[in-house]
Structure 1
Amino acid sequence: MSYTVSQLLTQDITFQPLEIKGWVRGFRSNRFIALNDGSTINNIQCVVDFENTDEAILKRITTGAAVHIKGELVESQGKGQKVEIQVSSIEILGDSDPEEYPIQPKKHTFEFLRENAHLRTRTNTFSAVMRLRSSLSFAIHKYFNENGFYYMHTPIITGSDAEGAGEMFRVSSLDAKNPPLDDHGNVDYKKDFFGKETNLTVSGQLEAETFAMSLGKVYTFGPTFRAENSNTSRHLSEFWMIEPEVAFMDLAGNMDLAEDFMKSVLRYVLEHNLEDLEFLNKRLLDEEKTKPQAQRSEMSLIEKIKFVVDNNFKRVSYTEAIDILKNSKPNKKKKFNYIIEEWGADLQSEHERFLVEKHFKCPVILFDYPANIKAFYMRLNEDGKTVRAMDILFPGIGEMVGGSQREERLDVLKEKMKALDIPEEELWWYLDLRKYGTAVHSGFGLGFERLVMFATGMGNIRDVIPYPRTPQNAEF
């Protein structure tokens, strides 16, 4: 019978004939194979009878080789493992060049592994990261399915800019060297494939709102794109977004939903991916030891996750947060890179982390932000200067979730669009929601890769997505 490594290490099936296939992680003394098939962070030791194994086969058992092993699972005689496979036969699958195989059993830099992203999941770190990414994805769908949400596939090609940022990738079938021009000498997009200028989406939110206003509770989970020329450790040009939208829900309900959702998906990986988390936790602890004392994190990876799962999120208005930050020691002593001087400042990661890690010592939800630093679709408060927005702040990373109660009043929404030079004809269908059966509704957005960074402790967003897309990089 054929098994996975995970099954062999967790089930009581010793002294039974078996088959297993996987990749060689190491081969020593011409006898001991460390085998892994991706089902677990752990390898299983396979003991070869080298005296009765063809020498030509032994020479081909190299790091990276794919093998098909038959044998028997027995109690291990050596240290480091409870069981091992006594090999009765071994078949090398395909070719393997030990001199050219780049992922050797030694420490590689993450930069080198990004250059070999097609093979980097052969390492313990990246196999653990991608298993966690898969589990988080499943947990997200599971949560929404169990809570009565419908999954929507919103358009990837769009004619609107939901965020108003303007940093979008153009979609066109026109001849790049000789596009048709209109009477004013501009590119005539009426002759393009869609008859208008179109782009890759930056968000599925606006379309999701249309479904929420008929189906009640919906969510999107799909790819989004930003043409921002940024090479930081927190930016990608292609990434995935989770965006629930709920009809008849106000800002308080939105905060309740987001807190329960975040706790649920992180609790899931604590329960189902503990081995991977323990490996990544140890990796980070070892990394922390190399840093100066002042730069070391106060919490381990698993402690950070439990910090979110086990604590109630503190709800604080933006105005209260500004007062706290203005009077804080780091601000007064000018330790912040961005000094908080007055109400209206756009908070940076250092401010958000101070509130979570130093002041409140729990996850924080900030709400009622200044209108001029938030998007046009957020519900204007009665004071005329703040909107019913919310951001959820986590330790070690700052902002994790951004959301709001949406502006349901047609006249107010039109005024806000006019002030920002957003043409009504571009979003006529969005305005229709405010004409026909308008109602209070809310939602939020979560960048999936940012969540994976938090759950794995990886410091660069390029290391939590299979094939990162960044400026000047579209390899693989």
Structure 2
Amino acid sequence: MKRTEIKQLFLLEPQNQEVLVKGWVRTFRANRFIALNDGSTINNLQVVVDFEQLDESLLKRINTSAALSITGTLVPSQGKGQSVEVVATEVEVLGDADPAEYPIQPKKHSLEFLREKAHLRMRTSTFSAVFRIRHTMAYAIHHYFHTNGFFYMHSPIVTGSDAEGAGEMFRVSTLDPVNPPMTEDGNVDWKEDFFGKETNLTVSGQLEAEVGAMSLGKVYTFGPTFRAENSNTTRHLAEFWMIEPEVAFIDLEGNMDLAEDFLKFVISFIMEHNADDLAFLDNRIQQEEKNMKQADRRPMGLMETLKFVVENEFERITYTEAINILRNSKPYKKGKFEYDVEWGKDLQSEHERYLVEKKFLKPVIVTDYPRDIKAFYMKQNPDDKTVAAMDILFPGIGEVVGGSQREESLEKLMNRVHEMEIPEEDLWWYLELRKYGTAPHAGFGLGFERLMLFVTGMGNIRDVIPFPRAPKSADF
């Protein structure tokens, strides 16, 4: 008999038909009711067994996380919360899980503990919901770009340039780390390395995506990126995934339109296709916050937060306007902001959240940042002080997207490269794009895990990627 996934089983009309299901035991109570889950849905299937017909040795093997194959009859459920259940006629244990050793028991575990059991945590309701959403989100991203005429471009993971100019990169080398070849002046001779030069893991596929945009018109990259930042915050990873579209012949306004439409589509797609998972995560947050002080609770429930994004037009203000709003705000005047508000400094998360959650009550796009706090490739505005940049701010999380119109003038781009002391020889190919058929173009970057944090309501970025990479953490 062909196996039926539990998700599909819930869609069937129960007519006492024989079915075959397989999955892992979530709970087994009263030697009669098995809660079975195969990962296809957040909802467990109740399997009713007649313990008197089962061998005692078999009963002892039906423990939490044991893998079972069950043949039985699909009938209307006698209990609450589900439409159907299976009355078992045959039970086979495919894989045992010793209850004395299995670390994840049917009780509440801390997320920190589950992080240490990353190879097993997906079997919990919370993490199975998170990673089903992760899949749907990745699919929605590809679906959006494909249906809008974008071409998926694979940018290199090994690179000889630092796109962000941050310098926090992982080196890629085959040289002997103890005794590398040296030049006459006492430096490592990178010409002897595998690639003949110093190379690193990429922090962004943007520069390569610009190459694609200036040939194919509309491209996007979606791949792993890396940053060797020694940060142990809840918002940073050493390995993370980035979505980076680049489009020829659009300006900053068109870039903002694209980003807003894209975000609304992806979030709406999750709301439609992962409703059960979102409802579970929403309820989880509500239960967690029951005993919290009002000031420590999230500004909105999870579903309310997602609707806040998809149902509102994003407010668009300049950085200068944002600074003026913040300096005239009650929190600023009463000294409640932890960080100072001053033109020329980056906005902090508390400032971004004030604009979204208190001032405008909708997502906010801040544009035209001071050029000195932005990357070299951003288009310089006529005032020579700001660049055509944009950041999109969401409730609870602050910045979720960063982008800009790119500088198409070779002269201006060269000046910025020299000002920031970026080695011109590393970017010769990027600069040549401005020599041969240069054109206005723009794009943005979106951290996949940051959007996952927002959509799932999880509090730590290490809980929305299967195997997190962070300082002193690469165990799986």
- Normalising by structure 2, we get a TM-score of 0.99
Aligned residue runs from structure 1 range 74-473, under 5 A: 74-340=75-341, 342-473=342-473
Which segment is superposed worse, 375-384 or 178-187?
Answer: 178-187
Q: Offset of 1:13 from its aligned partner?
A: 4.1
Query: What letter corresponds to residue 291 of structure 2 in structure 1?
Result: T
The alpha-carbon deviation at position 171 of structure 1 amounts to 0.1
Correspondence for 2:64 = 63
Q: Distance in 2 between matches of 1:77 and 1:344?
A: 65
Tell me how far 1:293 sits from its aligned partner: 1.5
**May I ask how many residue pairs the two structures share in their alignment?**
475
Give the partner amino acid of 1:17: E
Q: How far apart are residue 31 of structure 1 and its match?
A: 1.1
Q: Deviations over 1:280-308 (max 9, x none)?
A: 00111111222111222231000110000
* Distance across 1 between alignment mates of 2:438 and 2:451: 33
Residues 266-289 of structure 1 deviation map (CA, whole Å, 9 limit, x = unaligned): 000111111100000011111122
Partner AA of 1:440 in structure 2: P
How far has the Cα of 1:184 moved from its partner?
A: 1.0
Contact 2:141 2:266 survives alignment (8 Å): yes
SS in 1 for 2:60: helix
Give how far 1:14 is off.
3.3
Q: Deviations over 1:139-184 (max 9, x none)?
A: 0000000000000000000000000000000000001111111101
Partner AA of 1:433 in structure 2: L
Distance in structure 1 (CA, Å) of the matches to 2:141 and 2:81:
36
Query: Using the alignment, how far apart are the partners of 2:338 and 2:202 within structure 1?
Result: 33
CA distance in structure 2 between the partners assigned to 1:12 and 1:2 by the alignment: 17
Question: For 1:435, what is the secondary structure of its paired residue?
Answer: coil
Given residue 103 of structure 2, which amino acid in structure 1 is its aligned partner? Answer: P
Residues 23-42 of structure 1: pairs in structure 2 closer than 5 A? 23-42=24-43
Q: For 2:121, give the aligned amino acid.
A: R
For the residues of structure 2 that align with 1:79 and 1:175, how far apart are their CA atoms?
Answer: 64
The amino acid across from 2:82 in the alignment is Q
For 1:153, what is the secondary structure of its paired residue?
coil
Residues of 2 paired with 1:420 and 1:451: CA distance? 31
The offset of 1:83, in angstroms, is 1.6
Q: Say whether the 8 Å CA contact 2:231–2:471 is kept in structure 1.
A: yes
Amino acid in structure 1 at the alignment position of 2:400: M
Greater shift, 6-15 or 344-353, is seen at 6-15
What SS is found at the alignment partner of 1:60? coil
Secondary structure of 1:412 counterpart? helix
Structure 1 unmatched ranges of 5 or more: none
CA distance in 2, matches of 1:174, 1:117: 33
Which range moves more in the overlay, 245-254 or 71-80? 71-80
Residue 98 of structure 1 and its aligned partner are, at CA, apart by 1.4
Q: 1:247 to 1:80 in 2, by over 3 A?
A: closer
**Aligned partners of 1:11, 1:78: CA distance in 2, in Å?**
17
What residue identity is the alignment partner of 1:326? R
Q: Tell me, in whole angstroms, the C-alpha distance in 2 between the residues paired with 1:77 and 1:352.
A: 50
Task: Name the amino acid aligned to 1:403.
Answer: G
Counterpart Cα distance in 1 of 2:75 and 2:154 = 49
1:77 Cα deviation after fit = 2.4
Cα distance in 1 between the residues matched to 2:287 and 2:95: 37
Shift of 1:75: 1.2
Residue 10 of structure 1 aligns to a residue whose secondary structure is coil
What's the TM-score once normalised by structure 1's chain length?
0.99
Distance 2:78 2:301 in 1: 34
User: Equivalents in 1 of 2:261, 2:421: separation in Å?
Assistant: 37
1: CA distance, partners of 2:99 / 2:380: 63
The answer as to whether partners of 2:32 and 2:48 remain within 8 angstroms in 1 is yes
